[in-house]
Amino acid sequence: MLQINNLHVKLEEEDKVILKGVDLTVEAGKVHAIMGPNGSGKSTLSYVLAGRDGYEVTEGSAALDGEDLLEMEPEQRAAAGLFLAFQYPVEIPGVGNMTFLRTALNSQRKARGEGELSAGEFLKLVRARAKDLAIDAEMLKRPVNMGFSGGEKKRNEILQMAVLEPRMCILDETDSGLDVDAMKLVADGVNALRDAGRGFLVITHYQRLLDHIVPDVVHIMADGRIVKTGGPELALEVEKNGYTDILAEVA
Amino acid sequence: MVALAQARQDALETRLAALALPEGGGWLGAARREALARLTAAGLPGRRDEYWKYTDPAALNAAEAAPAKVFVADDEAPGFGAIDRLRLVFVDGVFDAERSDDPALAGVEIEQLARAGQADIHWARDLYGALEARGQKPVARPLATLNTAFAGQGVLIRATGRAAKPVHLVYERGSEAADALLHHCIRVEEGAELTLLETGAGAARLQTVMEVEVADGAAFHHIRSQGRDHERRMVTHIFARLGRESRFKSFTLSVNGRLARNEAVLELLGDDAVAHLAGAAAGDGDAFHHDDTVFVTHAAERCESRQVFKKVLKNGAVGVFQGKILVTQDAQKTDGYQISQSLLLDGDSQFLAKPELEIYADDVKCSHGSTSGAIDETALFYLRARGVPLADAQALLVLAFLAEAIDEIEDEAIADEVRGKLEGWLARRKG
């Protein structure tokens, strides 16, 4: 589903190389996790895939279902089924959460040649999804992420994911800033979306999220490359011994 | 200095030569002659006047209106169409009785200025030109004085209770070169309530003055939308005097046009009065120049005033905000607030702001702020990452920026109308 080959990326503004040849394939129905120390390039990978400005791809490719992601605008990537749950969800004053969600959903449907959802259909859909994530009507009414707590922001990301139903979900440090209860809610939300047609890439610094969202494959990223790949036990190893041992081993 | 005075004198004479005092004597004729004398003494505004530093008054001073193409807005519903209202239609600044509703239906007294000279409408007699004259200090506003002298059209509205429905002044355009002067007087009596709507560009050059007396415990709501004509010019003045526990709220939506100068001069004279002024403007192109000039005087205790002005500018558009809060020595416990903000969509556009506070009382709460900024790139990316195309995402953020001013409108149905209108305009603009 998601296929990344030899991806090299540098910052546009300065001559700093961040990704130095990432190879990664996420199959439909699978959950892949990427772990790694700070500054290893995990978040950069997620931003480059989503199409954020400021990065230059110097080599390699990234494709979703065979379509070249790097040639697409961010909104085209979203319509093609790519979703990034942001590490720092953005506050947008003046834009209501419901308006935001509805505009996003209908824009994607339009781009895919599907009919737009009526106000009634949309409301029904959002209410059902919001209930599972313990998001109340008040949160839906407020401007996007304005005055939300850290946990509320992350739950709101998962709500967007649940409403937009993307094919490929990337979660960038979704566990950061969450207490145990909030993490459980978020993980339940993600697990509810797991299905045979959908792929997940879960980026995290710590193993604890992976207790709740159990991955099929775990990758360790360091200095812009994936240096080790294994099963869920690899995450436990990180938890126990830290990154130092693994990095020493592959060096 | 002498040369300058001479130039001013010449400009005034040229302008006056193109005008004639309207027919009809009586009290109105006297008020007009008095205004003409004041105008002759003051002269027309010039670029060297402090209050005209950012806006060139030449096109407003000119003897004739520059031609402006009539914009046919046949792609949208009429303004405030969803609101049950009483329509009074003016075409090129002339009242059109046939196309207007029966004035009796609003439950307020309505008289045309053109017929007022003969009648002894005592309340209008006390108001016409009186608030405008008060508003000449400390800053001269000669174009308003010119209006008092020469306007032959306008309405006189007096509400003695709660109006049955809003009164809607519809300003339509007929010709490409019409020069219109409209002068309205409004008195909202003690405890009464009136909503006034205004829509349209009105003329190639439209000059309006509205004098509003809001008596003790009365409420006046004013919502206007200044039309989409790209080439029109206008200067508007609101002079309002507020009594004890009265409320005054005015909102203006402005898009397109070459020049708009909207002045508001408010005096809070009774304790516990509330005055809100808000404006949302969107301009595209270097021909666009939009100026909000506001002067609020607090002269009583525990009054609240609020100014919220937002402008979105691109392709060389220019926005101006000059806003002043004056708190006199006796106006203790004043709560004054002022914010002016611009969203500059490119590097060519310009926002000029002059916020001023002048406070003589010692127990007041006054704050003001002014910002200029580009569109939030992070928010833009967030929207796009969720599938919203770039142009839609920009329009959404522009609307969100202006929404804060629209939120100042108290009536939800009217606010929704304004929002819908603006949304439609932004959607058409993208293409």
The residue in chain B having the minimum alpha-carbon distance to the alpha carbon of residue A87 is B382
- pLDDT beyond 60 at B221: yes
Domain spans, chain B:
2-375
Give the residue from B206, B230, B197 showing the smallest Cα distance to B418: B197
Flag the least confident range among B118-122, B158-162, B182-186, B296-300: B118-122
pLDDT for residue B3: 66
| Chain B hits for A86, Cβ within 8 Å | 382, 385
Residue-wise DSSP of B133-169:
HHTTSSS--HHHHHHHHH--B-EEEEESSB-SS-EEE
By DSSP bridging, strand B94-95 and strand B86-91 are: antiparallel
pLDDT for residue A251: 67
Determine contact: B397 vs chain A, CB below 8 A: yes
The average pLDDT across B227-247 equals 96
Contact at 8 Å (CB) between B329 and B298?
no
**Percent of chain B whose pLDDT exceeds 70:** 98
The average pLDDT across B182-202 equals 97
pLDDT for residue B326: 97
Nearest CA to CA, how far is B251 from chain A (Å)?
18
**Contact at CB, A94 and B384, closer than 8 angstroms:** no
pLDDT for residue B227: 83
Measured between CB atoms, which of B377, B383, B384 is closest to A73? B384
Residue-wise DSSP of B73-137:
-TTSPPTTTTS--EEEEEETTEE-TTTSPPGGGGSSEEEEGGGTTTS--HHHHHHTTHHHHHTTS
> What are the tokens at B94?
């002339």
Cα(A117)–Cα(A125) distance, integer angstroms = 10
Query: How would residue B264 be classed by pLDDT, with cut points 50, 70 and 90?
Result: very high
| Chain A hits for B404, Cβ within 8 Å | 93-94
Contact at 8 Å (CB) between B64 and B18?
yes
Cα(B31)–Cα(B126) distance, integer angstroms = 10
Contacts of range A3-6, beta carbons closer than 8 Å, 24 or more positions apart:
A3/A61, A3/A62, A3/A63, A3/A64, A3/A66, A4/A45, A4/A49, A4/A60, A4/A61, A4/A62, A5/A60, A5/A61, A5/A62, A6/A59, A6/A60, A6/A61
**What tens digit of pLDDT does each residue of A168-226 get?**
999 999 988 888 888 888 899 899 999 999 999 999 988 889 999 999 999 999 999 99
From chain A, which residues contact B within 8 Å (Cβ)? 50-53, 73-75, 77-79, 84, 86, 89-95, 99-100, 103-105, 107-108, 111, 143, 160, 164
Determine contact: B204 vs chain A, CB below 8 A: no
The average pLDDT across B289-316 equals 97
| Chain A hits for B395, Cβ within 8 Å | none
**What tens digit of pLDDT does each residue of B269-300 get?**
999 999 999 999 999 998 999 999 999 999 99
The average pLDDT across B249-259 equals 95
Nearest CA to CA, how far is B84 from chain A (Å)?
26
Dmax over CA atoms of chain A, in Å, equals 57
Asked if the bond preceding B142 is cis, omega within 30° of 0, the reply is: no
Give the residue from B361, B302, B368 showing the smallest Cα distance to B333: B302
Please give the mean pLDDT across all residues of chain B: 94
Nearest CA to CA, how far is A109 from chain B (Å)?
9
Nearest CA to CA, how far is A111 from chain B (Å)?
9
pLDDT for residue B409: 96
Determine contact: B399 vs chain A, CB below 8 A: yes
Report the 10 Å Cβ neighbour count for A242. 11
**Contact at CB, B381 and A52, closer than 8 angstroms:** yes
Cα(B268)–Cα(B299) distance, integer angstroms = 6
Measured between CB atoms, which of A84, A111, A143 is closest to B385? A84
Query: How would residue B90 be classed by pLDDT, with cut points 50, 70 and 90?
Result: very high
> What are the tokens at B227?
């039309």
Give the residue from B309, B177, B170, B152 showing the smallest Cα distance to B233: B177
Give the residue from B391, B387, B421, B385 showing the smallest Cα distance to B403: B421
Which helix (DSSP H) or strand (DSSP E) does residue A6 occupy?
Answer: strand A2-11
Cα(B135)–Cα(A59) distance, integer angstroms = 68
Angle among Cα B247, B252, B254 to the nearest 5 degrees reads 175
The residue in chain B having the minimum alpha-carbon distance to the alpha carbon of residue A109 is B387
The residue in chain B having the minimum alpha-carbon distance to the alpha carbon of residue A78 is B387
The residue in chain B having the minimum alpha-carbon distance to the alpha carbon of residue A108 is B387
CB pairs under 8 A between A and B: 78
Determine contact: B12 vs chain A, CB below 8 A: no
Which helix (DSSP H) or strand (DSSP E) does residue A201 occupy?
Answer: strand A199-204
DSSP letter for B44, please.
Answer: -
Measured between CB atoms, which of A74, A103, A111 is closest to B381? A74
Instruction: Identify the residue among B308, B312, B382, B392 best suited for mutation to test binding to A, counting A beta carbons within 10 A and taking the highest.
Output: B382
| Chain A hits for B377, Cβ within 8 Å | 53
The residue in chain A having the minimum alpha-carbon distance to the alpha carbon of residue B390 is A75
**What tens digit of pLDDT does each residue of A51-93 get?**
999 999 999 999 999 999 999 999 999 999 999 999 999 999 9
**What tens digit of pLDDT does each residue of B44-82 get?**
999 889 999 999 999 999 999 999 999 987 778 888 999
Report the 10 Å Cβ neighbour count for A114. 11
Torsion angle of the four alpha carbons B41, B43, B47, B52, in this order, in degrees rounded to the nearest 10: 70
Name the 3-class secondary structure at B30. Answer: helix
Alpha helices in B303-411 (DSSP H): 377-385, 390-406
Residue B121, CA distances (Å) to A227, B102, B110, B155, B233 in order? 90, 20, 11, 12, 32
Flag the least confident range among A57-66, A145-154, B127-136: A145-154
**What tens digit of pLDDT does each residue of A25-39 get?**
999 999 999 999 888
- At A206, which amino acid appears? Y
- pLDDT beyond 90 at B140: yes
Q: Scanning the structure block, which residue is given the tokens 């690899």?
A: A234
Measured between CB atoms, which of A50, A52, A94 is closest to B400? A94
**Contact at CB, B379 and A90, closer than 8 angstroms:** yes
| Chain B hits for A99, Cβ within 8 Å | 396
pLDDT for residue A32: 97
**Contact at CB, B387 and A75, closer than 8 angstroms:** yes
Contact at 8 Å (CB) between B193 and B165?
no
Region of B410 (left: φ > 0; alpha: ψ -120 to 50; beta: rest) is alpha
Determine contact: B400 vs chain A, CB below 8 A: yes
pLDDT for residue B431: 40
The average pLDDT across A146-162 equals 93
Cα(A177)–Cα(A186) distance, integer angstroms = 12
**What tens digit of pLDDT does each residue of B376-418 get?**
999 999 999 999 999 999 999 999 999 999 999 999 999 999 9
DSSP letter for B40, please.
Answer: H
Please tell me the number of Cα atoms within 13 Å of B21 on its side-chain side. Answer: 16
- pLDDT beyond 70 at B2: no
> What are the tokens at B205?
């050059």
- pLDDT beyond 70 at B4: no
Determine contact: B380 vs chain A, CB below 8 A: no
